[in-house]
Amino acid sequence: MNNLPSGVDVALGSYEAPDSIVPAVEDVDAVFLLWPSGNDDSAKEVVRIISNQVRRIVYLSSMGTPEDPEQAQDPITASHSLLESTIRARAEEWTFVRSGGLAANTLSWAEDIRRDGVVREPFGGIPRALVHEKDLAEVAVRALTEHSHVGAHYDINGPAVVSGAEQVQAISEAIGRDLHLESLSRAEAIARFTGEHWADDFAEFIVDQWERMASAPPEEPTGEYTRLTGARGRTFAEWALDHRPEFL
């Protein structure tokens, strides 16, 4: 927290102790909410506390989130749907920034890249229009500060579909080092992730999700970021350059 911009204050609270959030939202007009999926027990209470004092909530959700939590196909979108429906019911003003696949998820490769230059991904990686977190942040800032976004939900992903091999190549070029992509089978992926201390059922669920995505047509760029900002979305290659130190 030593690099905060001038005029920024820090107020701490925890979703595990909702009352601790009360001082953090005093004299606040708008809140950007990023919720840890799977921690839904306190969600309604946290949203109640925030909305009692704050006019506007901008929530980072996920593309494909249904309005009805019972229609969700997996625990992650179910969690997002619960938060969205709770915010709709409680907040005076709201906006949902629904993210596509995050480019930052590839930071999970950093340790393997540093160790032996091999990226090991189920099914050779998933082709996706990965989004730079800066694009999401720009949309969120507009939603927090401009009234025209109230009641909207925006699907934000990257400007182009990038295959697993292309993702690895972009990181390779960013760090100036040859990298290799190794495709893991379903069984190999589950074995690896349970070895990394994931619960067996969660590892199977995640790998099943990846397998479905690998066999389905990739999500297309929505163009929503460009429509809202007038700028081209940041590419995965630009993201890789921005995060170069984290792979070295």
Residue at 186 is within a domain? yes
Residue at 206 is within a domain? yes
pLDDT at 233: 98
Per the structure, the count of domains in the chain is 1
pLDDT at 20: 92
Which residues in the chain land under pLDDT 70? 1-2, 38
pLDDT at 2: 63
pLDDT at 1: 56
Residue at 18 is within a domain? no
Residue span of the structural domain in which 118 resides? 101-130+159-219+235-248
Give the pTM.
Answer: 0.92
CATH number at residue 207: 3.40.50.720
- In the numeric block, which tokens belong to residue 56? 């506007």
